Structure 1
Amino acid sequence: MISVKNVLIALGVALTAYLAARGLWWGSVPVPQPLVVVATLGMYLATTWLCIFWEPAAPPTEGDAAAAPTARGPSKLPAVAQGLALACAIIVPSAIAFAVGPDSRTASFATWYLGGIGALMTIVMVRRRPWTAWIGTAILAIASMVWMGAAAALALGLVGSIVWVASAQLLVRSMDRAARDTARLAQLQRAASGWQASQAVRQRERRVQVQEALAVAGPVLTRTVATGGSLSDDERLQARLAEGRLRDEMRGPRLLDEEVRAELERARRRGANVTVLDEGGLEGLDEETLAIIRAQLADALRSASSERLYIRTSPDERVAVTVVGRSPAVGAPSDEDGVDLWREIPHPRAG
């Protein structure tokens, strides 16, 4: 199966093999220690390909903060391969410089390790070992400058190796940032979809309740028009209940369930004037939390005997709903009411 990962692995293997093959192309130039050159090349290829192909035995745990953004990218290089890469950066330059002799240290077959170790450290960087990659690059720079001089090392490939490692680090960081942004976007999209779905359900429920209220109010309105406003006491009660039910559905739908609706109707049937207002503070609550608030509201209404009831949501983070009851005070003028009920329903998430 052809994938981006497989293509990159193939390119890495081909590049390192080409760089190593340059070390064997000395032609008629005498090499004092050819076996050392061959052994060094074998060590380099084995280490490099190990760093390319070796995957960790077990995936990182979810609690590993360092591995969190890498779930979809290259895995972290195992510690053993990391150590071998550093050993390679230490041994290869000195071994090659010793094996080819002082007269050939700047020849093309003897400077292959500038690109070779640079490619190895680039692989280590991509495998998420940045400190190891930079340490290995520093070792390469020091060793090459010692054996061939600073100017020659910089001119023959050291600069390119440093650029490779730096570019790999920037690329890995960009990939991780893109992965985090993608995950964040997906999370926001899920949240938006959930919110939209909940709003659609809430609107549908509200539409159903309003339709039910209108179904009750419709016959009353028809009767009112037909009789010119001359209604019996029972019809007037039904009209008042229908009006109150309709106002409740429009002004405070998040406070309502069947139990609360039943208690509101019971209060109106005994003659109480009830006002329900949702003025914010319940946004973002799930149905389970709203059910707790509604149960406490129904309980407060069940024990209320006030002539006027005011039910309001609260923006306070500690109080979800306030229920206030007012009735004419004993011995007070008829137009002055006293507070005979004060109930604050605590916010469940403040507990």
Structure 2
Amino acid sequence: MIRVRSVLLALAFAMTAYLAATGLWWRGPVDYPILAVATLVLYLATTWLCIFWWPKTDAASGGSERGAGKLPGLAQGLALAAAAIVPTAIAIAVGEESRLQSYGTWYLGGIGALMTVVMARRRPWAAWIGIGMLAAGSMTWMGPANALAQGLVGSVVWVLAAQLLVLSMDRAARDTDRLAQLQRAASGWQASQLVRQRERRVQVQRALQVAGPVLTRTVASGGALTEDERLEARLAEGRLRDELRGPRLLDDDVRAELERARRRGATVTVLDEGGLDGLEEHDLADIRAQLAETLRSAGSDRLYIRTSPHETVAVTVVGRSMPTDGRSAGPSDEDAVDLWREIPLPGRASVDAR
């Protein structure tokens, strides 16, 4: 496939070759032909070096990235040297009588084309310095009016147009980068929303499975439930709260132990407050197994199960019970802590149950 850069390089090569050929079409006397030819060779070598010398990183990437394709410093120096030397050398070589002939004024377009290449290769200061040298040299040898009439204005316009084009391309590249970032952010947001929607659907399905039968019986009986049905309603409420507040802590064994604790009259609170993000499924399975074992041996009246943001602790299980002397008529802040277990994150030291 023909790339855009290849086409532009071919056009630049053809344009500079045509301008140099104009300098060889002598239709009148030339005082120093060898100097004229040597100057043309210097111009062509410098111009084609600026056109075709691309660093390896730019050549590999096709020069498509913003800021790529910057003209190397050596080529930039040679271009400025050509801008300073060529006008004077050609004016001396063709002689005073031929300085306004086409083969004596070709360098106005030639140096202008070279500075356009320099500008396109992202050396704006060098390009404008070269245009200043061209203007000074041409006006010195042929006069300001003749220099402007013979092509100096066109060279300035070329370089200015190249600068505006480069600025527009850079702006477009920045806008493209910004759009790509916004698209990635939008895609990530959309993916997270889809995941949340799936999680909500799963939770709703679980809620219907847990609470659906109890609600059906409640509606059918008009709210007149037996003691067993009331117990089942409380258990269903607890299961539903567990599914909503701490789904990552639950598996079949943990659910069974939570229900067993509630059936014996314990109040159980399960909260997932963070700290399990990024864990693999086998790590979560290990944490759940330890949680089920802890609940299996628990006899507390109130159980609090919470995930922990601590760097070494995954889950904290706290059990509290009424004092054994029976002075407290119900749960209070004076309840004794009879269970404390910190389940460590995988690979961290554990804290023994108490």
TM-score, with length taken from structure 2: 0.71
Structure 1 stretches lacking a partner, 5+ long: 62-66, 313-322, 341-351
Deviation at 1:230, TM superposition (A): 2.1
Q: 2:236 aligns with which of 239, 242, 245?
A: 242
Change in Cα spacing, 1:155 to 1:288, as seen in structure 2 (3 Å) is farther
**RMSD between superposed Cα atoms in Å:** 4.5
Which residue is 2:24 aligned to? Answer: 24
* 1:17-41, Cα deviation, whole Å (9 max, x unpaired): 221122123313x111122112211
Q: Is 1:112 aligned to residue 106 of structure 2?
A: yes
For residues 286 and 93 of structure 1, what CA distance do their matches in structure 2 show?
Answer: 71
For residues 143 and 161 of structure 1, what CA distance do their matches in structure 2 show?
Answer: 14
Q: Which amino acid aligns with 1:231?
A: T
For residues 103 and 159 of structure 1, what CA distance do their matches in structure 2 show?
Answer: 23
Change in Cα spacing, 1:310 to 1:74, as seen in structure 2 (3 Å) is closer
3-state secondary structure, aligned to 2:24: coil
Which residue is 2:79 aligned to? Answer: 85
Which residue is 2:159 aligned to? Answer: 165
Which residue is 1:55 aligned to? Answer: 54
For residues 186 and 338 of structure 1, what CA distance do their matches in structure 2 show?
Answer: 59
Which residue is 1:9 aligned to? Answer: 9
Q: 1:230 aligns with which of 221, 225, 232?
A: 225
Deviation at 1:207, TM superposition (A): 1.0
* 1:81-122, Cα deviation, whole Å (9 max, x unpaired): 222212211211110011111222233321111111011011
Structure 2 stretches lacking a partner, 5+ long: 308-315, 338-354
For residues 338 and 157 of structure 1, what CA distance do their matches in structure 2 show?
Answer: 98
Q: Is 1:257 aligned to residue 248 of structure 2?
A: yes
For residues 211 and 45 of structure 1, what CA distance do their matches in structure 2 show?
Answer: 77
Q: Given that residues 248 and 272 in structure 2 are in contact (C-alpha distance below 8 angstroms), is that contact kept between their aligned partners in structure 1?
A: no
For residues 70 and 4 of structure 1, what CA distance do their matches in structure 2 show?
Answer: 10
* 1:133-191, Cα deviation, whole Å (9 max, x unpaired): 22222221221122222232223222221221122122112112211221221122122
Deviation at 1:249, TM superposition (A): 5.5
Q: Is 1:39 aligned to residue 33 of structure 2?
A: no
For residues 85 and 261 of structure 1, what CA distance do their matches in structure 2 show?
Answer: 78
For residues 209 and 262 of structure 1, what CA distance do their matches in structure 2 show?
Answer: 19
For residues 77 and 155 of structure 1, what CA distance do their matches in structure 2 show?
Answer: 31
For 1:90-239, list aligned pairs within 5 A.
Answer: 90-228=84-222, 229-233=224-228, 235-239=229-233
Deviation at 1:335, TM superposition (A): 11
Q: Which amino acid aligns with 1:257?
A: R
Change in Cα spacing, 1:276 to 1:107, as seen in structure 2 (3 Å) is farther
Q: Which amino acid aligns with 2:132?
A: A
Change in Cα spacing, 1:262 to 1:155, as seen in structure 2 (3 Å) is farther
Change in Cα spacing, 1:189 to 1:58, as seen in structure 2 (3 Å) is closer
Which residue is 1:347 aligned to? Answer: none
Change in Cα spacing, 1:278 to 1:111, as seen in structure 2 (3 Å) is farther
74-83 or 211-220, which moves further after superposition? 74-83
Q: Given that residues 19 and 115 in structure 1 are in contact (C-alpha distance below 8 angstroms), is that contact kept between their aligned partners in structure 2?
A: yes
3-state secondary structure, aligned to 2:56: coil
For residues 114 and 197 of structure 1, what CA distance do their matches in structure 2 show?
Answer: 59
3-state secondary structure, aligned to 1:109: helix
For residues 114 and 306 of structure 1, what CA distance do their matches in structure 2 show?
Answer: 97
Change in Cα spacing, 1:329 to 1:88, as seen in structure 2 (3 Å) is farther
Q: Which amino acid aligns with 2:91?
A: A
* 1:321-351, Cα deviation, whole Å (9 max, x unpaired): xx9x9x99999998986899xxxxxxxxxxx
Q: How many residues align?
A: 331
3-state secondary structure, aligned to 2:112: helix
3-state secondary structure, aligned to 1:111: helix
Give me the identity figure in percent: 61
For 1:281-292, list aligned pairs within 5 A.
Answer: 287=278
Change in Cα spacing, 1:245 to 1:170, as seen in structure 2 (3 Å) is farther
Q: Which amino acid aligns with 1:104?
A: S
3-state secondary structure, aligned to 2:104: coil
Change in Cα spacing, 1:163 to 1:156, as seen in structure 2 (3 Å) is same
Change in Cα spacing, 1:37 to 1:74, as seen in structure 2 (3 Å) is farther
For residues 191 and 44 of structure 1, what CA distance do their matches in structure 2 show?
Answer: 50
